[in-house]
Structure 1
Amino acid sequence: MQENSRVSENISQRHFTNSVLAYITPWNAAGYDLAKRFCPKFTHLSPVWYNLKTEGTKLALEGRHNADTEWLSELRLRGNAQVLPRVVLEAVPKDLLRNKKQRDKAINLLLKECKDMGYDGLVLESWSRWAADGVLYDASLRKMALQFVKQLGDSLHNFRSQRNGQPLQLVYVIGPPYSQSGKLQAHDFGPEDLKTLSDSVDGFSLMTYDYSSPYSPGPNAPLTWVHSTIKLLLGDGGKSLANKIFVGINFYGNNYILAEGGGAQAITGRDYLSLVDRYKPMMRWKKDFAEHFFLYSDDQHREHAVFYPTLMSIAERLEEARSWGAGISIWEIGQGLDYFFDLL
């Protein structure tokens, strides 16, 4: 476990000067301590706490029981990072979008939670749910979906943070377009959507990870793919909006079984160090992906391939974001190794 403790003594100096959004999850509690310890390195912190759901004919915001007010108070003493909890919009999409009263109610619930809890804004995740429900294939519903996000952002901007007097912020989560041809599909979030929302949304958390799967083992986020995703999203002449993009960087990895039938398991830093300690594998660098990986055989003689971030792979992605003038979003800091933060 020695590598995990090799952290620079200077834990407050920022090396990556663009925006840094870090997600924290209740199921990887180490993230709470890391957020406090390295607070000056972040501009935005997003604890994954809330879900907005449909209950019968009503809407309910669930998750306040997750909110750790003592942790919030300690954060305030350690740095100026803005706290924007994540809300996943699980309300039945068509009911919500077609009903003005429902839309207004949803926004009022979210605003009230920000005011009651003293948050600096919210991170909203809804696009992937809308895509899965077929909402984005219907032109009128797609328009309503964008209108809802705009309305939420504008409503948040009308209120000010109790902490710093700044307007409350909205960061919107978007998935990468998985286009091989460079052409966007109906459900993809593209350049026109970015422009439509740019005045109302303060940042876009771009999920540039999970490129590979158990059915197709490989890198978590090949750098060439990250580059082409950003390029596709910004479109022609869209670089002026690049500063609103938080390029996703994974602090987790994947352990793939390469034998027939396959399988995969997401791994954290602790898992990774345990595998390295046990199997003492040879690290390999794949230039096309700009990621390290290693192979090993388990006790049942099954071959595994492990892809997990390293200082070199993270540095390459920070440089990619920097070259666009973009920020980064980290999913999620409780899964990483402490010395990753030296690069931020």
Structure 2
Amino acid sequence: MSKKRDRRSAASSTRRDNRIEQSTRRDDSASDRKLVTIFILFFIVAPVISVIVYRFRFSSPSYPKESYVYQRGLVTTDANYQDVLTENSKVSENTSQRSYTYPVLGYITTWNSRGYEMAKRFNSKFTHLSPVWYDLKSQQASLVLEGRHNADKRWISELRMAGKALILPRVVLEALPVELLTKKKQRNKAINLIVTECKEMGYDGIVLESWSRWSAYGILHDPSMRNLALQFIKQLGQALHSVVSEKNHKQQLQLVYVIGPPSSQNLQQHDFGPKDLETLSEAVDGFSLMTYDFSNPQNPGPNAPLKWIQFILHLLLGSSGNSAQSLTGKILLGINYYGNDFSLSRDSGGGTILGRDYLALLEKHRPELQWDKNSGEHFFFYTDDNDIKHAVFYPSLKSISLRLEEARSWGCGISIWEIGQGLDYFFDLL
């Protein structure tokens, strides 16, 4: 600025006598140009730059509203069956872009082959994939790990090439719990079977399901048995962490543990609670929380009411002063990709429906989709060929997005049961 002022002052002094009038006109013109420049910069350029900066900071490429389903206005409470039938197979062109930045685990079952295809197609949407393959069972006085015949090495190889999702098969502990937990030899045998299978098959760890089985046997009501159960999980986690992944030699094998929701408003002794979360925090890499199956044929209704989910998270993680609060990043909030078709007759009945079943019902009955704001779920009624009324609850883009936002607000990951049961455009939210 000082150099400009010096040049302008020097030029003015040499021409002051004979070019005053011309200089005055030039100064007026320069002032006008300066005012115009300031106007453009202040009122036009600056706002544009501000908008660009705002979008860059707050609308990152992973923001879900950049996806196809948001652009089409499909994530709405005013959903209708025509849009579902027309749009359900359409997704964003870039299927590798993640919208949900926290961990995402997807379950795949052997009885629904569509899940295998979805895992390959949307591999980059997931951090973990868990094929439901293994059971650890008692065999006379010993143990056996069943399920290797389910393992598809070619599919695993294709997943490795398609993306970076870790492969953690699910293992269900069906072995007699008293024998398993009270005998050191049995515990060591179980852990050795699991770790050896991970090494030989090149897995990145496992998802373990046992708490619900132990609860059904009634052993979790006994404080000493409950403590042995926790010690077994810790021992297994430590054993897995002592082994590095074949895929990534810098990464330990991981343990994700399946936990269910509390059985009542107040935690019971057999429920998995905040103290258990803290006890296992170092040995377990993630907790797959089953926040679904709220209703059943005897009590028809929504599958996973949003307020119920919020209650469970508050009960498990507590307030900000609770030490369990720091473990929110290890919680994988359960989201169902299946629905239920309930019979509303006196002889209540019904059961699970998959995406293809849902679409068939929409095609046949052309129902009005209704939004239940209390549960945060869509549902509809129809009357079957036997004149029996039904209520159908199946996930929608809006219901899933609300649960993703709830998980995001806590800093939680998510776990999906199971990815073959959903509609294609559900994955556009991930």
Match of 1:275 among 343, 347, 361: 361
Q: Per the alignment, in what secondary structure is the counterpart of residue 255 of structure 2?
A: strand
C-alpha contact 1:52 1:61 (8 A) present in aligned 2: yes
Cα displacement string for residues 211-262 of structure 1 (whole angstroms, at most 9, x for unaligned residues): 0011100000000000110111113422210000000000000000001011
1:178 aligns with 2:250: no
Asked if structure 2 preserves the Cα contact closer than 8 Å seen for 1:172 and 1:203, the reply is: yes
Which residue is 1:244 aligned to?
A: 330
User: Are the equivalent residues in 2 in contact too, given 1:120–1:169 (CA < 8 A)?
Assistant: yes
Provide the secondary structure at the position in 1 that maps to 2:374: coil
Distance in 2 separating the partners of 1:299 and 1:281: 15
1:231 corresponds in structure 2 to 314
Cα offset, 1:5, TM superposition: 1.7
Q: Distance in 2 between matches of 1:10 and 1:294?
A: 32
State yes or no: 1:137 paired with 2:221: yes
Quick one: distance in 1 between partners of 2:318 and 2:370?
34
Counting matched residue pairs gives 342
Specify the alignment match of 1:309 in structure 2: 395
* Match runs of 1:109-258 below 5 Å: 109-165=193-249, 166-180=251-265, 183-236=266-319, 237=322, 238-258=324-344
Q: Which has the larger radius of gyration?
A: 2
Match of 1:38 in 2: 122
In the alignment, the residues of structure 2 paired with residue 300 and residue 137 of structure 1 have an alpha-carbon distance, to the nearest angstrom, of: 46
How far apart are the structure 1 equivalents of 2:87 and 2:428?
Answer: 13
The one of 258, 266, 281 aligned to 2:352: 266
Q: Aligned partner of 2:258: which letter?
A: V
* AA matched with 1:188: D
More RCO (CA 8 Å, sep 6+): 1
SS at match of 2:200: helix
Letter in 2 for 1:205: S
Structure 1 counterpart SS, 2:252: coil
Q: In the alignment, residue 262 of structure 1 is paired with which amino acid?
A: S
1:341 and 2:427 matched: yes
SS at match of 1:213: coil
> SS of 2:193's equivalent?
helix
Residue 179 of structure 1 deviates from its aligned partner by 1.6
* Distance (Å, rounded) in 2 between the aligned partners of 1:111 and 1:2: 46
1:13 maps to what in 2? 97
- Which amino acid counterpart does residue 185 of structure 1 have in structure 2? Q
Q: Deviations over 1:52-88 (max 9, x none)?
A: 0001011000000000000000000011100000000
For 2:335 and 2:89, locate their aligned partners in 1 and report how far apart those are by CA, in whole Å.
21
1:34-69 per-position Cα deviation (integer Å, ceiling 9, x unaligned): 000000000000000000000101100000000000
The alignment-based identity, stated in percent, is 64
Task: In structure 2, list runs of 5 or more residues that go unmatched.
Answer: 1-84
Q: Distance in 1 between matches of 2:318 and 2:189?
A: 34
Q: Which amino acid aligns with 1:39?
A: N
Secondary structure of the residue aligned to 2:112 is coil
Deviation at 1:9, TM superposition (A): 1.2
Question: Given residue 127 of structure 2, which amino acid in structure 1 is its aligned partner?
Answer: T
- Name the aligned partner's letter for residue 112 of structure 2: N
Aligned with 1:248: secondary structure?
A: strand
Q: Distance in 1 between matches of 2:217 and 2:87?
A: 44
Q: What is the rounded CA distance, in whole Å, between the counterparts of 2:151 and 2:88 in structure 1?
A: 28
Q: Which runs of 4+ in 1 moved over 6 A?
A: none
Deviation at 1:2, TM superposition (A): 4.0
The one-letter amino acid of 1:24's match is I
More helix by percentage: 2
Specify the SS of the correspondent of 1:5.
Answer: coil
- The answer to which of 164-173 and 3-12 deviates more is 3-12
Give how far 1:298 is off. 0.5
Deviation at 1:4, TM superposition (A): 3.1
CA RMSD of aligned residues (A): 0.7
Cα deviation for residue 6 of structure 1 reads 1.4
1:239, 1:324 within 8 Å by CA — same for their partners in 2? no
Contact 1:208 1:247 (8 Å CA) reproduced:
yes
Once residues 314 and 334 of structure 1 are traced to their aligned partners in structure 2, the CA distance between those partners, rounded to angstroms, is 15
AA aligned to 2:417 is: W
Distance 1:4 1:74 in 2: 25
The whole-number CA distance in structure 1 between the counterparts of 2:109 and 2:294 is: 21
Residue 25 of structure 1 is matched in structure 2 by: 109
Answer yes or no: is the 8 Å Cα contact 1:292–1:308 preserved in 2: yes
- Distance in 2 of aligned mates of 1:242 and 1:255: 33
For 1:62, the equivalent position in structure 2 comes to: 146
Contact 1:177 1:189 in 2 (8 A): yes
Unaligned runs of 5+ in 1: none
Counterpart-to-counterpart distance in 2, 1:235 and 1:190: 10
CA–CA distance in structure 2, aligned partners of residues 168 and 235 of structure 1: 29
- Which residue type is aligned with residue 326 of structure 1? C
